[in-house]
């Protein structure tokens, strides 16, 4: 199985877009995305210096646009990707890239959302002097306990021995003065404490904007930063993207889910590198490729051929409710013939971490259960089949 991963803020470097603009049509497409975003992305991706592209309001639209452009080079038509990619995942702002790539929102909607996300997060960061520091190495539980003891938030739990702490500059200084055993604490060049309560004003801004965004169900399963769940419902993908701004990124759980799904190959799209490093350390035996320049496209196309699985891209006339995580399923009292509303709880899945509600993404009539109470299930495994309610499918 092939997965596509989309990087987050901090992965951009000066001039990284230059070689991509030499491909036919890419410069024109970037000009269109720049017009939508109201930002000169061509200049920022080619000639702007490191300090300029570090600005949150610049970095986030630049990263999403770069990812979408590279996918047009990797797959000539979106349907080509829908047929062969088994899963998609994005780190932080990369979830917007993944949502657009999976057909949940359009490229234009993605650029408006990421423009406002970047602006709102940059504005929220000015309220209090905050920041982020990477904690590398150490015992994972001791690291998390130390971060919490300083009043900080583990904003990015990335796995592979990497946790990012976020909070006030005073709290971060205290952590640096008294680091967990066998760790290195490295301050990050970011504008504020992203994915913490300090970003709550940005959530409110995005929540209002998102109410006017129409969505489609994901054509490729998306692994969510919230808890590593596999998400198909378009409205749910968008809701999680909004709320994630003030909540931790659990990339460690995303990697666990990719492993549980049986992923054998992962391509990280531009600006690539950071997630590839985490996957190499966290998912041994999975082939990975950082798609940094067009020179890497030949290797990427080979991986698509070798790891991609051919499947139909068309949508069925019935709907499936799938398991969000690996665990044991507990089915509800819902019986075949029952009318279910969108958002209704139809089952629970208990994992080693906790028990998660399984909600129907659509209104419809239950046709049949595909599992029995107590069965072990995998992330993305169909649990329930239903006919969609007419007009609400």
Both 35 and 175 in a single domain?
no
Both 111 and 148 in a single domain?
no
Both 172 and 27 in a single domain?
no
pTM: 0.83
Instruction: Return the axis-axis angle of helices 107-124 and 200-210, rounded to nearest 10°.
Output: 150
Between strands 265-268 and 153-159, the pairing is unpaired
Both 139 and 217 in a single domain?
no
206 within domain boundaries: yes
Instruction: Return the axis-axis angle of helices 56-74 and 297-307, rounded to nearest 10°.
Output: 60
Both 271 and 334 in a single domain?
no
Give the closest residue to 58 by CA, choosing from 104, 17, 6.
17
From 307, 336, 362, the end of a domain falls on: 307
User: Could you read off the pLDDT of 97-142 as tens digits, one per residue?
Assistant: 999 999 999 999 999 999 999 999 999 999 999 999 999 999 999 9
Q: Is 11 helix (H, G, I), strand (E, B) or coil?
A: coil
Residue 88 has pLDDT above 50, yes or no: yes
Residue 310 bears catalytic tag: no
Q: Determine which one of 48, 133, 146, 195 is catalytic.
A: 195
User: Could you read off the pLDDT of 10-43 as tens digits, one per residue?
Assistant: 899 999 999 999 999 999 999 999 999 999 999 9
Range of the domain at 175: 130-187
What span, in angstroms and rounded, lies between the C-alpha atoms of 261 and 235?
A: 23
Q: Lowest mean pLDDT: which of 210-219, 279-288, 366-375, 379-388?
A: 379-388
Q: Determine which one of 11, 48, 70, 92 is catalytic.
A: 92
CATH code of the domain in which 175 resides? 3.30.70.250
Both 266 and 379 in a single domain?
no
Q: What is the mean pLDDT of residues 252-257?
A: 94
CB–CB of 263/1 below 8 Å? yes
Residue 106 bears catalytic tag: no
């Amino acid at each position: 199985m092939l997965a596509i991963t989309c990087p987050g803020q901090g992965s951009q470097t000066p001039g990284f877009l230059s070689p991509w603009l030499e491909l036919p049509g890419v410069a024109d497409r970037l000009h269109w995305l720049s017009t939508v975003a109201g930002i000169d992305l061509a200049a920022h991706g080619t000639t702007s210096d490191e300090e300029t592209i570090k600005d949150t309001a610049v970095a986030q639209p630049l990263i999403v646009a770069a990812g979408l452009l590279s996918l047009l080079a990797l797959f000539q038509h979106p349907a080509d990707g829908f047929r062969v990619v088994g899963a998609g995942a994005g780190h932080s702002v990369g979830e917007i890239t993944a949502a657009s790539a999976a057909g949940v929102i359009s490229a234009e909607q993605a650029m408006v959302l990421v423009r406002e996300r970047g602006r709102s997060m940059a504005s929220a960061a000015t309220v209090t002097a905050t920041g982020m520091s990477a904690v590398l190495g150490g015992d994972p539980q001791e690291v998390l306990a130390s971060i919490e003891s300083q009043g900080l938030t583990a904003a990015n739990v990335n796995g592979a021995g990497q946790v990012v702490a976020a909070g006030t500059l005073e709290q971060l200084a205290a952590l640096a003065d008294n680091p967990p055993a066998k760790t290195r604490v490295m301050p990050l060049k970011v504008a504020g404490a992203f994915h913490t309560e300090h970003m709550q004003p940005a959530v409110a801004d995005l929540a209002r904007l998102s109410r006017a965004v129409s969505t489609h169900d994901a054509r490729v399963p998306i692994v969510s930063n919230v808890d590593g769940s596999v998400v198909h419902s378009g409205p749910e993908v968008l809701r999680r993207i909004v709320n994630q701004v003030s909540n931790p990124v659990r990339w460690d759980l995303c990697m666990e889910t990719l492993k549980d799904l049986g992923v054998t190959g992962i391509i990280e799209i531009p600006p690539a590198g950071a997630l590839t490093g985490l996957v190499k350390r966290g998912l041994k035996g999975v082939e990975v490729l950082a798609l940094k320049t067009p020179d890497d496209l030949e290797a990427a196309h080979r991986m698509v051929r070798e790891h991609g699985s051919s499947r139909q891209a068309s949508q069925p006339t019935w709907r499936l409710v799938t398991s969000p995580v690996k665990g044991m399923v507990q089915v509800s009292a819902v019986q075949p013939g029952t009318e279910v509303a969108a958002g209704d709880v139809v089952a629970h899945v208990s994992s080693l971490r906790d028990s998660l509600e399984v909600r129907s993404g659509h209104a419809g009539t239950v046709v049949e259960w595909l599992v029995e109470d107590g069965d072990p299930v995998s992330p993305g495994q169909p649990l329930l089949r239903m006919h969609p309610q007419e007009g609400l499918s």
